[in-house]
Amino acid sequence: MVNSIVSIDVDFEAEIKRLKKEMNAVILAHYYQESEIQDLADVVGDSLELARKAKTTNADVIVFAGVHFMAETAKILNPNKQVLLPDLDAGCSLADSCPAPLFKSFREKNLNHLAITYINCSAEVKALSDIICTSSNAEKIINQIPNDQPILFSPDRNLGKYLMKKTGRQMLLWDGSCIVHETFSERKIIDLKTQYPDAKIIAHPECEEAILMHADFIGSTSKLLKFVVDDSGKNFIVATEPGIIHQMEKTVPGKNFIAAPPEKNCSCNECPYMKLNTLEKLYLCMKDRRPEIILPEDIIEKSLKPIVRMLEMS
């Protein structure tokens, strides 16, 4: 079913605020959302913070300005609440790289392995996993697993390789990656560093090893934000989706943030899925109360366990 057509003179911001009260809704937004969506949200955060907020909210309706797997996580944690996503096509290349039937056979071939799975995956893949993690808590979780327990880490091979280095653990990796974080140009980042010799390079662990090698700091989106607040530096080259720069500029207005450029002259460093959500679609999903996240009961039941384990271990 298609959402209703909207008249161009609707004041989206005012209407969203009005609907939010009327519906007793909470708007959760990821750092990669358009600035105007971040500014309207009740909470802006990384995947872990948004999952935590989804778990504790008193709102009747959760409006998720993010991508599908994030909204699914909110639904799994709140099966009795309505969870809305402005555009159901807001997917994730990492989640797409790991179809549940293939993941199931990967697990069956490695029965003695514990499956630690990055939250960027479908609810079906979560249901087949032992523990979920995000880029914020993955290291902490892996460090709690006994050394003699073999681990399967899915679906991001870059994050997996980074974690193997950090924890000194060998893990069997799924061969997935993020189209956005694989786009950064090492050559252009080195050029920028020549232009701004004092700049610190900060990167998300989904980036390739060649980029991470140059980074002064590596962390999840909220850890990157915290780093630029705490660090005494003035210039930062930011190797993650540039949506986060909005919060960085808001939080520390005097500092200079340079988005790490992609290899080609394109906007491939912007997440095409995150950017499917617009203010208009946010308004429409609240007005029409759809698109809504609906999941089968057995998937909710099975995927809740590894998410709860994550929350307990982080």
Binding pattern for the stretch 73-102 against ligand SF4, x by CB under 6 A and - elsewhere: -------------------xxx--------
Of the residues 78, 129, 134, 183, which one makes contact with ligand 13P according to CB under 6 A: 134
268 vs 311, which CB is nearer to ligand SF4?
A: 268
Give the nearer residue to ligand SF4 in terms of CB position, either 233 or 272: 272
Let me know the angle formed at the C-alpha of 260 by 258 and 262, rounded to the nearest 5 degrees. Answer: 140
Contact 209, 182 (CB under 8 A): no
For ligand SF4, the closer of residues 31 and 283 by Cβ is 31
Binding mask 127-156 for ligand SF4 (x = CB under 6 A): ------------------------------
CB 224 within 8 A of CB 217: yes
Nearer to ligand SF4 among residue 94 and residue 201 (C-beta):
94
Span from 57-65, 179-187, 210-218, 288-296 in contact with ligand SF4 (CB under 6 A): 179-187
Instruction: For residue 258, give the 3-state DSSP assignment.
Output: strand
| Among residues 84, 131, 178, 212, the one that binds ligand 13P under rule CB under 6 A | 178
Residue 78 Cα to chain centre, angstroms: 19
Instruction: Count Cα atoms within 13 angstroms, Cβ side, for 41.
Output: 25
For residues 208 and 187, the answer to whether their CB atoms sit within 8 Å is no
CB of 301 to ligand SF4, least distance (A): 25
Binder of ligand 13P out of 87, 124, 206, 270 (CB under 6 A): 206
Stretch that binds ligand SF4, among 143-151, 258-266, 270-278, 289-297 (CB under 6 A): 270-278
Instruction: Give the x-and-dash track for 185-204 against ligand 13P (CB under 6 A).
Output: -------------------x
Please report how close the Cβ of residue 68 comes to ligand 13P at its closest, in angstroms.
11
CA distance 261 to 124: 34
Q: 19 vs 180, which CB is nearer to ligand 13P? A: 180
Residues 6+ away with beta carbon under 8 Å from 239: 181, 184, 189, 201, 202, 203, 204, 207, 211, 215, 260
**Can you tell me which residue has the tokens 């998720």?**
64
* Beta bridge partner(s), residue 307: none
135 scored as a contact of ligand 13P (CB under 6 A): yes
In this structure, are residues 205 and 219 in contact, taking their beta carbons and an 8 Å threshold?
Answer: yes
- Distance (Å, whole) CA 308 – CA 91: 23
Would you say the C-alpha torsion 206, 70, 170, 107 has a positive or negative sign?
negative
- Residue 125 sits in the site that holds ligand SF4 (CB under 6 A): no
Partnered with residue 176 across adjacent β-strands are: 156
Cβ 295 to ligand 13P, closest distance in Å? Answer: 20
The CA dihedral of 104, 119, 287, 295, to the nearest 10 degrees, is 30
Is the CB of 240 or the CB of 314 nearer to ligand SF4? 240
CA nearest to 67, candidates 41, 39, 44, 88: 88
Say if CB 235 and CB 196 are below 8 A apart: yes
CB of 250 to ligand SF4, least distance (A): 20
Q: Which three-class secondary structure state does DSSP give residue 236?
A: strand
Binding residues (CB under 6 A) for ligand SF4: these are: 67, 92-94, 120, 178-181, 206, 241, 271, 273-274
Binding residues (CB under 6 A) for ligand 13P: these are: 46-47, 120, 134-136, 178, 204, 206, 220-221
